[in-house]
Amino acid sequence: MHVSFVCTGNICRSPMAEKVFRAALDEAGLAAGVAVTSAGTGGWHVGEPMDPRAAEVLQRHGYDTAHTARQIDSHTLSADVLVALDHGHRRALRDSVPEPDRVVMLRSFDPGSTDDAEVPDPYYGGPDGFDEVLRMIEAAVPGLLERVRKEV
């Protein structure tokens, strides 16, 4: 199985979600059966590391921070589950794949959120935005993990 997280530039939200989900798979003993990637809808940051503010938040919470930004490609689009972080990402993905039901919003897996809720872009805000994004991701990951567990 392949799960891919998608945001705008692949330096903040999607790599954070990738790292948190990968850690959850490891903890659940499912990592061997699930490939996890992330990508951006745009190519502005291809080849760059994760935003330092995102890396700092992840590191502070014990997550891996190794990352090189990528843009959506055929490998991304072949994922079994494409996880969008906001409505624009969802639209771009649904326009790019013949099976739009493979595209889901990350926060739809958070029982305390609505199915249509977005993970806001923290890039132009302060460091607190990255902490909030991590909280949103961590709230959604158990639900996504349960979906993947049923399909693996």
Is-catalytic flag, 121?
yes
Side-chain half-sphere of 118: how many Cα atoms within 13 Å? 12
Q: What angle do CA 72, 78, 80 make, to 5 degrees?
A: 115
Is-catalytic flag, 12?
no
Choosing from 13, 70, 90, 107, the catalytic residue is 13
| Cα-based distances in Å from 53 to 12, 45, 108, 131 | 8, 15, 25, 9
Is-catalytic flag, 149?
no
Distance CA 83, CA 103 (A): 6
Side-chain half-sphere of 9: how many Cα atoms within 13 Å? 14
Q: Which residue has the tokens 């996504």?
A: 144
Choosing from 121, 131, 147, 149, the catalytic residue is 121
Residues forming the active site = 7, 13, 121
